[in-house]
Amino acid sequence: MATIKDVARQAGVSVATVSRAFNDSAVVSEHVLARVRRVASRLNYWPNGAARSLITNRTHAIGVLLPDLFGEFFSEVIRGIDHAARESGLHLLLSSSHADTEELVAALRAMRGRIDGLIVMAPDVDAPKALECAHPDIPLVLIDPGLGVSGYDSISIANQDGARALVEHLLDLGHRRIATITGPRRNIDAEQRLAGYRLALKRRRVERDPELEIAGDFSEPSGYEAVDRLLALKRRPTAVFVANDYMAIGVLGALSDAGLRVPQDMAVGGFDDIAMSRYLNPPLTTVRVDAYGLGQRAAARLIRAARTSPAPARTREVLPTTLVIRGSCGAAGGERSRPGVTRSRAR
Amino acid sequence: MATIKDVARQAGVSVATVSRAFNDSAVVSEHVLARVRRVASRLNYWPNGAARSLITNRTHAIGVLLPDLFGEFFSEVIRGIDHAARESGLHLLLSSSHADTEELVAALRAMRGRIDGLIVMAPDVDAPKALECAHPDIPLVLIDPGLGVSGYDSISIANQDGARALVEHLLDLGHRRIATITGPRRNIDAEQRLAGYRLALKRRRVERDPELEIAGDFSEPSGYEAVDRLLALKRRPTAVFVANDYMAIGVLGALSDAGLRVPQDMAVGGFDDIAMSRYLNPPLTTVRVDAYGLGQRAAARLIRAARTSPAPARTREVLPTTLVIRGSCGAAGGERSRPGVTRSRAR
DNA sequence: GCCCCGTCTGTAATCGTTTTCAGCACCTTC
DNA sequence: GAAGGTGCTGAAAACGATTACAGACGGGGC
């Protein structure tokens, strides 16, 4: 691979001039510039990124740490980050699937000197602690940390509001015995959605029954299995709020297998509004989260923080959610089962 | 940020010793090692990646160039790449949405000196030419290039076989007038799938009718719109092979809006088997492509190539596809419309 | 006592850039 | 003709690590 020295030698100039030709271009004379450019393209030369960032302290890359790449939600987040990043000519240095905080810290260390900023999505409630030990000097934006976390820029989802809105909607439809299937313990989204469920009941003075809170883990099978416990209850609920759409798919399948009709025998609500929710049978009433926007805003925030020289004040943004009413909750006007009313969703 | 010099000074050793402590660890004495480690962790020191890779010529990152991050297919590919990469302790340097080859080349250049290998997914038929000008010295794996491309490692999809299998299945069901909705021109997947459609007809001696080949662009709305032209034909077909599942969703929606029943009035087949295809109404008969496997094998291939010192022989792998028969084609035994028979698809 | 060897550590060159500073022409101005 | 700009270019010092080479030290064998 040709280096700056090769170009300098063959163009009959110094390395400084070649460097200038690839950076400012204003200072160097027209004539020399052309010669350098010609030699460079003949040798297929381009400045080495590592050497460049060693001296300039800029890498034109932002680090992204995710719990896992699986699922539409995360991939939408990445897409949002990527689009914002490429507008500023930045690449993404990606690392995912960090089961525990130790792995997270290891990944973080490996990124030293390779990134200009960092976006971390760690739904585990105590992950942010791990961040303190690392990277004290580059901008950092957290996606969806716990409310207890402070001292960082963050952007999160209005989980509690969304869950409350959905459960209140079920209450409005006349349901009084409403179950919930929760996400994993220690997951911040799961905890906040559960809190929203409880808050809705409390506000409407409906007594909370602990046996109606069934543990799930955000996976489709766990939703399927939770239905067994739901149907075994002496006083069976008439509606269920499922803490994410993947589990809700499992719930719909299990109810169908059990011969129950949705929403007549059991109303169902989900969370996330993943793409396939509207194609389920019946289409799933759920809470829409703008995953793309989440990523995009996180990246935009990071870029702004990196640009402004004295670090701007910390901000904590909360992205609102919207209730999407479809057939599975039994509300009048909810979309009926039918494939793709496509025009409205074209992208 | 602490550098190796700070650690050396405070630990009372030379930088060489600190460096050794962070690399081999065998040569340096127990006692000194402990002291260096202690000082390093107190100063929160970790070797700078840029400096390291400048001298070692290794970056522990692989570059990934994609046309776009959108859609489940690509996100699955990335997931596959990521999993294979992290097994070898590698990060992903990601860049996507390269509309034209010029952008692709620019992204490629920016990665100089930052990656140990490169995976490029460029469905545009002439993109590989652009690669020649760049990175002649690191391993390169192409995902899904045209058949004409040679001289590179590649891994691709059996597009033609898959399309042929699906169309032959429709022929087996008795259909003789079968339309197709194609992907964009100059897209290699689209071209190969069209070729598979034509080949199936040819083999079964069914005459090809050009007006049955309707242009689409892989987007859901284009599928919806294509149906208008389909239904306007004097001799209306009884079945349609849609070149990807997103368009097929649009097709199902349009047929439903037109008051036609699937599969009775029109049989429909898709391609890709995206997650939501099985939840459509009726569930979509389609061709499954292992996107995760595609990414995973590409990364594995790259890593193997990077490890073996004299570059191993070029390989061109083709990932087989499988026909997935569901309700939309009208075959007996196809899955009927029902939400989530979930256990079998749990992940 | 001398030599040799093994074990550990330090010195310094190196990777490929950017950037400061100085220098060299050449021109203008008094 | 000297002084002072201008406009361009080159020499050399960083940046933060790795690693070849050499040196220091202690101990064992003769």
Residue A345 reports pLDDT greater than 50: no
Per-residue pLDDT, B314:
81
Backbone angles phi, psi at A221, to 5 degrees: -60, -35
In SS3 terms, chain A reads as CCCHHHHHHHHCCCHHHHHHHHCCCCCCCHHHHHHHHHHHHHHCCCCCHHHHHHHHCCCCEEEEECCCCCCHHHHHHHHHHHHHHHHCCCEEEEECCCCCHHHHHHHHHHCCCCCCEEEEECCECCHHHHHHCCCCCCCEEEECCCCCCCCCEEEEECHHHHHHHHHHHHHHCCCCCEEEEECCCCEHHHHHHHHHHHHHHHHCCCCCCHHHEEECCCCHHHHHHHHHHHHCCCCCCCEEEECCHHHHHHHHHHHHHCCCCCCCCCEEECCECCHHHHHCCCCCEEEECCHHHHHHHHHHHHHHHHHCCCCCCCCEEEECCEEECEHHHCCCCCECCCCCCCHHHCC
- In sequence order, the β-bridge partners of residue A233 are none
Quickly count: other Cβ atoms within 10 Å of residue A185's Cβ.
Answer: 10
Whether the CA torsion B108, A84, A25, A13 is positive or negative: it is negative
- Report the pLDDT value the prediction gives residue A179, as an integer from 0 to 100: 97
Q: Which of residues 12-71 of B touch strand D (CB under 7 A)?
A: 15-16, 18-20, 22-23, 45-48, 51-52, 54-56
**Is residue A168's pLDDT more than 70?**
yes
B6-55: per-residue pLDDT in tens?
999 999 999 999 999 998 767 788 889 999 999 999 999 999 999 999 99
Q: Which one has a higher pLDDT value, B199 or A313?
A: B199
Chain B residues near residue A257 by CB distance under 8 angstroms: 341
B53 CA → D11 C1’, Å:
27
Q: Which residue has the higher pLDDT, B107 or A213?
A: A213
Residue with the two structure tokens 């004539």: A31
Q: What is the DSSP string of B257-322?
A: HTT--TTTT-EEE-SB--GGGGGSSSPPBEEE--HHHHHHHHHHHHHHHHHSSSPPPP-EEEE--E
Say what the pLDDT of residue B346 is. Answer: 31
pLDDT of residue A124: 65
Per-residue pLDDT at A330 exceeds 50: yes
pLDDT in tens, A149-158: 667 888 999 9
Contacts made by residues A260-266, CB under 8 angstroms, sequence distance 24+: A260/A231, A262/A327, A262/A328, A263/A327, A263/A328, A263/A329, A263/A330, A264/A330, A266/A237, A266/A238, A266/A239, A266/A240
For range A98-123, the mean pLDDT: 82
pLDDT digits (tens, 9 = 90+) for A236-285: 999 999 999 999 999 999 999 999 998 999 999 999 998 889 888 889 99
pLDDT at A267 (0 to 100): 97
Q: What percentage of chain A has pLDDT greater than the value 70?
A: 87
Mutate which: B94, B280, B296, vs A, most A CBs within 10 A: B94
Who wins on pLDDT, A332 or A102? A102
Pairing of strands B61-65, B117-121: parallel
pLDDT tens digit at each of 347 positions of chain B: 889 999 999 999 999 999 999 987 677 888 899 999 999 999 999 999 999 999 999 999 999 988 776 677 888 888 899 999 988 889 999 987 676 777 788 888 888 889 999 998 876 656 666 666 655 678 889 888 765 566 788 899 999 999 999 999 999 999 999 999 999 988 889 999 999 999 999 999 999 999 999 999 999 999 999 999 999 999 999 999 999 999 999 999 999 999 999 899 999 999 999 888 988 888 999 999 999 999 999 999 999 988 876 667 788 899 999 999 999 998 866 555 444 333 333 33
What's the rounded Cα separation, in Å, for the pair B254 and B250? Answer: 6
Lookup result for tokens 């009084």: A176
Which residues in range 192-221 of chain A are in contact with strand C, contact meaning CB within 7 A of any of its atoms?
none
What band does A308 get if pLDDT is binned at 50, 70 and 90? confident
A343 pLDDT above the threshold of 80: no
**Strand D atom within 7 Å of A28 CB:** yes
Alpha helices, H only, chain B: 4-11, 15-21, 30-43, 49-56, 72-87, 101-110, 127-132, 159-172, 188-203, 220-232, 245-257, 291-307
pLDDT given at position A181:
97
- What is the average pLDDT value for chain A, to the nearest integer? 87
Q: Is there contact between B34 and strand C, defined as CB under 7 Å from any strand atom? A: no
Q: Which pLDDT value is given to residue B345?
A: 33
Tokens of A8: 């300098």
* 8 Å CB contact of B224 and A82: no
C-alpha B158/C-alpha B237 separation (Å) is 26
If one counts every other C-beta atom within 10 angstroms of the C-beta of residue B235, the result is 8
